Amino acid sequence: MRIAIVEDEQDEPDCLSRRLEHQLSLLGYTENVIRCYRSAEEFLAAWRPGGCDLILLDIYMEGMPGIEAARRIRERDADCRLVFCTSSNAFASESYEVGAHYYLHKPFSDRDIMNMLRKLDLESYEFSRFITLPDGKRIFPRNIIYTEYHNHVVTMHMKKDGQLRTRISQAGFQDLLLEYPYFCCCAKGILLNFHEVSAQEGAMFTMSDGSAVAVSRRREKEVQEAYAAFLFQRMRKEMGE
């Protein structure tokens, strides 16, 4: 999960970050990037559309208030989860206007944070996340089985649409796809989706469409460790359910 905490109280962001990380781990989400910002202006200067899965905004901040920051976020990103951290319901109607998903009332407990995470329905959100290709086409990463790169063209082997191709550099494509922790570069020019692995034998993965994808010798140890970590995280999520 890619999470931003926008809060100007002195110790609040770091405290919330630690507690949020712990509660996410209990749900099986261990591959998280949580960044803290001390003002809405600082956050908006660093943010790009699609760059966060969850944004927690304090409503009352010096400078730009959280509601105004949320409006600017929604102008460019309709999909990210927005949560307001506040001690008041004064902006309830405005939070509805900007599509906020939750109010986290201060002071909040670990149980409050867990209730928030469950309410956000993170797993279904994961299926709705998409990447935008250079030609403007939107692709859902969870629908990709694996990808191959050759002569400046990426071929995506899809669960539902057969093969899709796009002209893009491999580095540029990796920047889009490797933000998702269930993807791995297993060999030069090949990315695979761990969710779509049906079997593994040594350095060979059998994918859900029956394809065999080989891991390069140079990456074998790294890929096997990443796959083991993925399986462990998935087991924790299943046990949590």
Asked if residue 52 lies in contact with residue 2, where contact means CB atoms within 8 angstroms, the answer is yes
Architecture of domain 2-126: 3-Layer(aba) Sandwich (3.40)
- pLDDT tens figures, 43-85: 999 998 888 889 999 988 889 988 899 999 999 888 888 999 8
- pLDDT tens figures, 113-159: 998 988 887 777 777 778 888 888 889 999 999 999 999 999 999 99
Distances (CA, A) of 14 to 11, 64, 134: 6, 21, 37
Between residues 160 and 213, which one has the greater pLDDT? Answer: 213
Model confidence at 102, in pLDDT bands (50, 70, 90)?
A: confident
Domain with CATH 2.40.50.1020 in the chain: 130-240
Pick the CATH number of 130-240 from 3.40.640.10, 3.30.70.2750, 2.40.37.10, 2.40.50.1020: 2.40.50.1020
* List of long-range contacts for 148-154, beta carbons under 8 Å, 24+ apart: 148/189, 148/190, 149/173, 149/189, 149/190, 150/189
pLDDT reported for residue 237: 67
110-120 vs 12-26: helix axis angle to the nearest 10? Answer: 60
Residue of 65, 93, 72, 132 whose CA lies nearest to 85: 65
Give residue 190's identity as a one-letter amino acid code. Answer: I
Model confidence at 161, in pLDDT bands (50, 70, 90)?
A: confident
Secondary structure E strands in 2-76: 2-6, 33-37, 54-58
> Strands across the sheet with 183-187, in order?
163-167, 153-158, 144-150, 190-193, 183-187
SS3 for 97-117, per residue? HCCCCEEEECCCCHHHHHHHH
pTM surpassing 0.75?
no
Domain with CATH 3.40.50.2300 in the chain: 2-126
Strands 183-187 and 212-214: unpaired
The residues, any chain, with a CB within 8 Å of residue 54's CB and separated by 6 or more, are 1, 2, 3, 4, 80, 81, 83, 120
Residue 89 has pLDDT above 80, yes or no: no
Query: Which tokens is 97 given?
Result: 């206007």
Percentage of residues in the chain with pLDDT exceeding 90? Answer: 51
